[in-house]
Amino acid sequence: MKMSKINILLLFFVGLAFLTETYAQQTPQPKPEATEVWEPEPKVVTPGEGTKPPSDAIVLFDGKDFANWVSSKDGNTPKWAIKDGAMVVEKGTGDIQTKQTFGDFQLHIEWRTPDKVEGEGQGRGNSGIFLQERYELQVLDSYQNRTYSNGQAGSFYKQTIPLVNACKKPGEWQVYDIIYTAPRFRWNGSLESPARVTVIHNGVVVQNSTIIHGTTEYIGVPKNIAHGKGGIRLQDHGNPVSYRNIWIREL
């Protein structure tokens, strides 16, 4: 019996399928488990609820006292006021900062500009949160209060404009959630990688993995001077801005 060309072709493919199957059975196949990683196991953190911080957070201010803070000027107890569970800038007493210093972190901080609107532009509800004592995330009453864009609330002062203006009305509590990666410096003091920061203002992303170009300068360009860990510093800009519920998690 003469085989047709089609039959020969059919036989060829059946043979090929058989050989492929045999080869597959002999060769070890990757298993799903091969790409599972079990160690280390992330530790358990109980998330915060409402104004309660997560279980592993360092509470920097719980509304009671300045136990974790000093005056940036002289290292003494801050002369700011504590009113209704909030710390309030006392004009002319200077900046305050945490006793503890930090590298990479997640910071939660709530702030409120005065409900009685006074001044305009940079003179209205101005304060600031200096990350590692050097890089100012602006606090300002930016509700219907135009100023230069890289100086409004949510900006890194004189550096980076916020993506949007998520400011609440004066007198309302606002929230910054800040995820910060500190700059890295080489042994000789040169910059290896700049700081990066993400800021969520009242639930809205205003800085997305933003590069910080160096120190906050009122006049001139940012500087990069090697440094280690630094405190969280809050600015006295002469306006009675309030802060409460401040906690941090080292990363």
221's tokens: 């360009």
Nearest by Cα to 122 from 162, 149, 96: 149
Nearest by Cα to 134 from 76, 183, 61: 183
Q: How far is the CB of 198 from Mg ion (least distance, A)?
A: 20
Whichever of 86 and 234 has its CB closer to Mg ion, that residue is: 234
Whichever of 53 and 230 has its CB closer to Mg ion, that residue is: 230
Stretch binding Mg ion (CB under 5 A), from 23-31, 86-94, 159-167, 233-241: 233-241
Q: Say if residues 175 and 201 touch (Cβ distance below 8 Å).
A: yes
Cis peptide before 47 (omega within 30 of 0): no
Q: How far is the CB of 89 from Mg ion (least distance, A)?
A: 11
Whichever of 157 and 180 has its CB closer to Mg ion, that residue is: 157
Residues 241 and 127: their CA atoms lie apart, in Å, by 7
Stretch binding Mg ion (CB under 5 A), from 16-24, 99-107, 206-214, 234-242: 234-242
Q: Say if residues 124 and 150 touch (Cβ distance below 8 Å).
A: no
Q: Which residue is nearest to Mg ion (CB)?
A: 128
Q: How far is the CB of 140 from Mg ion (least distance, A)?
A: 6
Q: Which residue has the tokens 């969520």?
A: 200
Whichever of 78 and 128 has its CB closer to Mg ion, that residue is: 128
Stretch binding Mg ion (CB under 5 A), from 4-12, 43-51, 124-132, 200-208: 124-132
Distance set, CA 153 to CA 102, 125, 140 (Å): 23, 10, 5
**Going along the chain, which residue ranges are E strands?**
58-61, 69-71, 81-83, 86-88, 96-98, 105-112, 127-131, 135-139, 174-181, 184-185, 191-193, 195-201, 204-212, 233-234, 242-250
Residue of 53, 128, 230, 240 interacting with Mg ion (CB under 5 A): 128
Count, residues near Mg ion per rule CB under 5 A: 4
Whichever of 71 and 138 has its CB closer to Mg ion, that residue is: 138
Whichever of 153 and 166 has its CB closer to Mg ion, that residue is: 153
Stretch binding Mg ion (CB under 5 A), from 102-110, 120-128, 188-196, 208-216: 120-128
Q: Is there binding between residue 214 and Mg ion (CB under 5 A)?
A: no
List of residues contacting Mg ion (CB under 5 A): 126, 128, 235, 237
